């Protein structure tokens, strides 16, 4: 059952495993991967053993069980998970690297960060208990094993995030982008309470277990000691059964909730001190948004702005707003307040909002949870955007593709097929786009001819390099893009459309975060967001004069600067309730940057003695590699009973087995009546899922003697034996999915009356 639950979790992430799978065997890990991900998997095999050795030095803990590791890319997105069972631990690693404007972009390398974070989960949560009888139960009952420690989510994720940062000098604890947002939360009195740490409600609610959890645990280590915090984990595996709260209070002398309040007070105090020293930012609210928003796109004539928004119910919409002031809403408000005073002269009218919600021109809702992202205007009536396509067979589930949206007709057209294109920029004729393609763990900058569906890489692909935010200049002669390599910061480049005259844009000294470049209206300069000293700011780089200017001074957590035709700047101001659009005037006071980063190396913050080596892609051949073995079955035994007062009382005994990827399922069982033997029989079932064509087989044999039932309705003896075989093949026509099945059923009945 343990492997069944694990396989089910994997199948939820990627329901189709019809591919050629291989397995690499190292001393402590079995790495299962599809052949498309061979390069990533081979490097992962080496990284896993390095991480295990270093974590043992740091933790003085390791797993004595071989860990199954699945390397795949089911969602075309950066993620992973661990199933921390003490007898059959499993890790799942998604090969797609994170983009520049995410809280996990600050790492020495995606592979290293992912392996370290998920392995820490196993070492932290899958340790066997010193209570012998409880450990025996954990060994045979997987559900009990998975839920044994009942560790709060913020503790599990916070500790893995803490160690990921301490052992690399980067990670989310030291992430400039995350810190700038948390500072805004603190200054607005909106940091999560202890009771909210495990939740996912509100803006960035799901991230707080990682971000605030790691910072609280780090605060505990700094104010007490690493050994004191480590004692909590030791107590949780004691002979005496303790949950986290009991283990924590026994070590620290007070509850985690109480100490967390003190931590929040100190964090907020520091944030408020910083705010007191910040100059006033001369910006105004331009558009209030709804919780989550991303990637605003201004139409070429400046009359409309497209923004992807996601509300509290996770409804994703592409909303197109007019950029004009909403005079109608203002007039309606004025009229309503006038009528209010006419009815009651002593009443107090509502205060007018600082800006009236701009008119929504069109709204496009996502379909089948396919998502909507990265809108790009082609002309005044046509937008291209990202959404997910589903691959019905192979190693992928969701793949990012490009779609076209006609705002006049409402028509949606798919432009690429399973291309794996994330962020992109499109030419004015709509025929060519430049984008980042991610497949098999490789991030590439590519040119896509939409007429011929030809995809041309601009550079040689490497697992060491990730690209993001390719953007065309207004005259379409230059291409700007972000790129990062192992152990380096993100870097902004500008080059000719055919690859000539590549220029590296200078960055402020000490920067860590870099994202969201955009060309000025005339194409002579670039805006972007960079972060240092726990703040994010908007910068402008003039290409001809090579001058870098800082437009903000850390007053807000900022994102997505876009220049308007009049020279003013729209940007996202990130608050505790989500981002809103604000505007900066053209004549804003700015600062010329004179101290630049000497190289692309990322600053490493304080780490302990057990730092991982620099991130690396390991290319040597592994010592042992085999085809994935579906006959490596892991069985579980089940017992059940059924009671029917009018007929029988049954005892069911069965054994079920499956391989890790659930390519081959086997099951056999026997049932017998516990009363007078009215019914008994057995069955054997098999299901094979490794091919595009799915196969099922079943055999059965049972004997029913109705004369022995509690309540006789017939006096008959019925024997039946037979089998069932079926083959099925899933097909898809657009949004319509069908699974035709060809089946054969044979049953031999033998019946006699008494």
- Among residues 471, 474, 468, 472, the alpha carbon closest in space to that of 491 is found at 468
Average pLDDT, the chain: 89
Looking at the fold, whether 246 and 230 belong to one and the same domain comes out as yes
pLDDT, greater one: 422 or 702: 422
Residues 6+ positions from 212 with CB-CB distance below 8 Å = 154, 158, 182, 191, 192, 197
Q: Supply the pLDDT for residue 645.
A: 55
Q: What is the 8-class DSSP label of residue 69?
A: E
Cβ–Cβ < 8 Å for 571, 582: yes
Looking at the chain, the whole-number percentage of residues with pLDDT higher than 70 is 90
Residue 732, pLDDT score: 67
**Mean pLDDT along residues 283-297:** 94
Q: Give pLDDT, residue 145.
A: 64
Last residue of a domain, one of 254, 277, 300: 277
Sheet of strand 373-379, all strands in order from the earlier edge strand to the far edge: 373-379, 382-390, 398-406, 412-414
Same domain, 23 and 118: yes
Q: With 70 as the cut, is the pLDDT of residue 240 above it?
A: yes
Label residue 753 by pLDDT band (50, 70, 90).
low
CATH number, residue 132: 3.30.2010.30
Encode pLDDT of 47-71 as tens digits: 999 999 999 999 999 988 999 999 9
Residue 641: the pLDDT is 75
CB-facing half-sphere around the CA of 139: CA atoms within 13 A: 9
Q: Which percentage of the chain shows pLDDT scores above 90?
A: 67
Average pLDDT of the residues in 224-231: 96
Report the alpha-carbon distance of residue 128 to residue 596 in Å, rounded: 51
Residue 356: inside a domain: no
- Please check whether residues 142 and 161 belong to one and the same domain: no
Here the tokens at position 567 are: 């020279």
Secondary structure E strands in 315-411 = 316-322, 360-365, 373-379, 382-390, 398-406
Q: What are phi and psi of 12, to 5 degrees?
A: -65, -35
Q: Buried b vs exposed e over 506-516: b needs ≥16 C-beta within 10 Å?
A: bbbeebbbbbb
By three-state DSSP, how is residue 46 classified?
Answer: helix
Identify the CA nearest to 92 among candidates 145, 34, 143, 19: 34
* Total-model pTM: 0.90
For residue 706, the model assigns a pLDDT of 72
Average pLDDT over residues 446-467: 97
Residue count (the chain): 754
pLDDT at residue 499, as a whole number: 83
Per-residue confidence at 465, pLDDT binned at 50, 70, 90? Answer: very high
Report the pLDDT value the prediction gives residue 601, as an integer from 0 to 100.
87
Instruction: Write phi, then psi, for 489 (nearest 5 degrees).
Output: -75, 165
Does 211 lie in the same domain as 107? no
Confidence of residue 6 (pLDDT cuts 50, 70, 90): very low
> Do the bridges between strand 29-34 and strand 67-72 make them parallel or antiparallel, or are there none, so unpaired?
parallel
pLDDT tens-place string over residues 295-330: 999 999 999 999 999 988 888 999 999 999 999 999
Other Cβ atoms less than 10 A from the Cβ of 702: the count is 16
Residue 266 neighbours by CB distance under 10 Å: 11
Q: Retrieve residue 704's tokens.
A: 């029913």
Question: Which of 627, 728, 694, 659 minimizes the C-alpha distance to 10?
Answer: 659
What are phi and psi for residue 406, nearest 5 degrees? -90, 115
| DSSP symbol at 336 | H
| Residue 752 pLDDT | 66
122 within domain boundaries: yes
Residue 730 is predicted with a pLDDT of 75
Quote the pLDDT of residue 5. 43
pLDDT for residue 16: 44
Identify whether residues 136 and 189 lie together within a single domain.
no
Q: Which domain holds residue 724?
A: 634-753
> Token pair for residue 21?
């799978």
> Is the domain of 142 the same as that of 154?
no
Secondary structure class of 62 (helix, strand, coil): coil
Q: Evaluate if residue 638 carries a pLDDT over 80.
A: no
Q: Is residue 523 part of a domain?
A: no
pLDDT classification of 608: cutoffs 50, 70, 90: confident
pLDDT bucket at 135, cuts 50 / 70 / 90: low
Q: Does 587 fall in a domain?
A: no
Which residues have a Cβ under 8 Å from the Cβ of 60 and sit 6 or more positions away?
none
Is-contact 508 539, C-beta < 8 A? Answer: yes
Residue 600 lies in a domain: no
On whether the CB atoms of residues 346 and 296 are closer than 8 A, the answer is no
Task: Identify the domain boundary among 277, 301, 331.
Answer: 277
Q: Tell me if 683 is assigned to some domain.
A: yes
Cα 107 to Cα 50, 98, 114, 486, 603: the distances in Å are: 17, 10, 10, 8, 11
Tell me the longest C-alpha to C-alpha distance in the chain: 104
Secondary structure (DSSP) of 389-439: EE-SSSS-SEEEEEEEEETTT--EEE--SS--EEEEEE-TTSSEEEEEEEE
Number of domains in the chain: 3
How does pLDDT run across 417-427, given as a tens digit for each residue?
999 999 999 99
Number of Cβ atoms within 10 Å of the Cβ of 406:
14
pLDDT-based confidence at residue 20 (cuts at 50, 70, 90): confident
pLDDT reported for residue 4: 41
Q: Do residues 730 and 651 both lie within one domain?
A: yes
Residue 745 scores a pLDDT above 50 = yes
Give the mean pLDDT of 220-230.
96
Q: pLDDT confidence of 637, banded at 50, 70, 90?
A: confident
What pLDDT score was predicted for residue 580?
97
**Is residue 105 scored above 60 in pLDDT?**
yes
Residue 171, domain member (yes or no) = yes
- How far CA 289 is from CA of 184, 574, 637, in Å, comes to 17, 10, 54
Average pLDDT of span 101-106: 96
Instruction: List pLDDT tens digits, range 482-527.
Output: 999 999 999 999 999 988 888 999 999 999 999 999 999 999 999 9
The answer to whether residues 104 and 171 belong to one domain is no
Average pLDDT over residues 253-279: 96
Looking at per-residue pLDDT, the higher value among 430 and 661 belongs to 430
- Of 8-22, 176-190, 704-718, least confident by mean pLDDT is 8-22
What is the tens place of the pLDDT at every residue in 161-212? 999 999 999 999 999 999 999 999 999 999 999 999 999 899 999 999 999 9
Taking only the tens place, the pLDDT of each residue in 370-419 is 889 999 999 999 999 999 998 765 555 789 999 999 999 999 999 999 99
225 CB contacts (<8 Å, ≥6 apart)? none
With CA atoms as reference, report the closest residue to 4 among 687, 660, 692: 660
Q: What is the C-alpha R_g of the chain?
A: 30
Most confident of the ranges 510-524, 632-646, 661-675, 726-740: 510-524
Please check whether residues 124 and 159 belong to one and the same domain: no
Residue 9 has pLDDT above 60, yes or no: no
The band of 245, judged by pLDDT with boundaries at 50, 70 and 90, is very high
Mean pLDDT of 555-578: 96
Domain termination site, one of 101, 116, 148: 148
- The per-residue pLDDT for 146 is 64
Q: Are residues 158 and 126 in the same domain?
A: no
Asked whether residue 132 is assigned to any structural domain, the reply reads: yes
- Indicate if 167 and 133 belong to the same structural domain: no
Task: Spell out a b/e string for 36-57, using b for 16 or more CB atoms within 10 Å of the CB, else e.
Answer: bbbbbbbbbbbbbebbbebbee
Pairing of strands 679-688, 664-673: antiparallel
Instruction: Say how far apart CA 645 and CA 647 lie, in whole Å.
Output: 6
Determine the straight-line distance between the first and last CA of the chain, rounded to whole angstroms: 43
Q: Are residues 103 and 155 in the same domain?
A: no
Q: Got the DSSP string for 9-44?
A: HHHHH-S---S-EEEEE-SSEEEEEEGGGHHHHHHH
């Amino acid at each position: 059952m343990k492997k069944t639950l694990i396989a089910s979790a994997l199948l939820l992430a990627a329901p189709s495993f019809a591919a050629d799978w291989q397995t690499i065997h190292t001393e402590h890990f079995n790495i299962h991967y599809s052949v498309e991900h061979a390069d990533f998997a081979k490097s992962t095999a080496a990284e896993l053993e390095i991480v295990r050795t270093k974590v043992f030095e740091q933790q003085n803990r390791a797993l004595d069980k071989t860990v199954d590791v699945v390397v795949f890319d089911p969602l075309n997105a950066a993620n992973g998970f661990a199933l921390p069972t003490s007898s059959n631990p499993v890790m799942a690693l998604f090969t797609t690297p994170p983009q520049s404007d995410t809280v996990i972009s600050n790492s020495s390398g995606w592979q290293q960060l992912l392996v370290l974070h998920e392995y820490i989960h196993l070492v932290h949560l899958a340790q066997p208990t010193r209570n012998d009888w409880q450990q025996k139960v954990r060994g045979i009952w997987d559900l009990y094993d998975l839920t044994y420690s009942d560790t709060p989510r913020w503790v599990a994720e916070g500790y893995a995030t803490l160690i990921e940062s301490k052992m690399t000098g980067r990670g989310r604890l030291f992430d400039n982008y995350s810190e700038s947002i948390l500072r805004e939360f603190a200054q607005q009195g909106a940091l999560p309470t202890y009771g909210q740490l495990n939740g996912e409600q509100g803006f960035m609610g799901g991230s707080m277990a990682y971000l605030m959890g790691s910072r609280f645990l780090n605060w505990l280590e700094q104010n007490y000691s690493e050994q004191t915090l480590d004692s909590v984990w030791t107590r949780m595996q004691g002979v005496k059964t303790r949950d986290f709260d009991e283990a924590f209070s026994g070590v620290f002398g007070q509850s985690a909730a109480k100490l967390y309040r003190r931590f929040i007070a100190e964090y907020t105090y520091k944030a408020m001190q910083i705010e007191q020293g910040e100059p006033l930012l001369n910006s105004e609210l331009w558009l209030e948004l709804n919780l989550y928003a991303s990637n605003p796109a201004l139409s070429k004539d400046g009359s409309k702005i497209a923004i992807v928004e996601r509300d509290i119910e996770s409804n994703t919409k592409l909303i197109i707003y007019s950029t004009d002031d909403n005079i109608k809403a203002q007039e309606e408000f004025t009229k309503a307040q006038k009528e209010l005073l006419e009815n009651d002269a002593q009443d107090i009218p509502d205060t007018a909002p600082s800006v009236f919600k701009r008119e929504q021109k069109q709204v496009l809702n996502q379909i089948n949870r396919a998502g909507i992202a990265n809108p790009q205007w082609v002309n005044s009536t046509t937008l291209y955007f990202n959404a997910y396509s589903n691959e019905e067979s192979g190693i992928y589930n969701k793949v990012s593709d490009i779609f076209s949206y006609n705002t006049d007709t409402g028509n949606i057209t798919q432009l690429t097929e399973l291309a794996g294109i994330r962020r992109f920029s499109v030419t004015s004729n709509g025929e060519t786009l430049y984008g980042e393609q991610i497949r098999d763990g490789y991030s590439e900058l590519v040119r896509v001819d939409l007429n011929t569906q030809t995809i041309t890489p601009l550079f040689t692909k490497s697992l060491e390099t990730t690209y993001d935010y390719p953007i065309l200049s207004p005259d379409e002669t230059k291409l700007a893009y972000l790129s990062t390599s192992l152990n380096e910061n993100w870097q902004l480049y500008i080059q000719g459309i055919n690859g000539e005259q590549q220029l590296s844009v200078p960055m402020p000294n000490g920067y860590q975060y870099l994202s969201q470049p955009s060309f000025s209206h005339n194409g002579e300069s670039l805006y972007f967001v960079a972060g240092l000293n726990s703040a994010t700011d908007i910068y402008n780089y003039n290409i001809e004069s090579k001058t870098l200017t800082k437009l903000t001074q850390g007053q807000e957590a900022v994102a997505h600067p876009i220049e308007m035709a009049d020279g003013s700047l729209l940007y996202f101001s990130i608050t505790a309730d989500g981002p809103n659009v604000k505007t900066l005037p053209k004549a804003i006071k700015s600062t010329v940057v004179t101290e630049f980063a000497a190289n692309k190396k990322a600053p490493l913050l304080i780490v302990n003695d057990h730092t991982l080596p620099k991130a690396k892609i390991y290319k040597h051949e592994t010592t042992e590699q085999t085809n994935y073995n579906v006959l490596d079955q892991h069985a579980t035994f089940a017992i059940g009973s059924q009671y029917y007062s009018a007929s029988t009382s049954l005892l069911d005994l069965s054994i079920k087995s499956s391989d890790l990827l659930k390519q081959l399922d086997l099951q056999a069982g026997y049932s017998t009546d516990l009363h007078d033997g009215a019914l008994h029989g057995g069955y054997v079932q098999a299901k094979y899922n490794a091919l595009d064509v799915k196969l099922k087989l079943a055999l059965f044999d049972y004997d029913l003697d109705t004369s022995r039932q509690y309540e006789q309705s017939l006096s008959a003896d019925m024997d039946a034996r037979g089998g069932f075989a079926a083959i099925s093949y899933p097909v898809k026509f657009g949004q319509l999915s069908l699974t035709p099945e060809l089946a054969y059923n044979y049953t031999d009945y033998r019946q006699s009356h008494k």
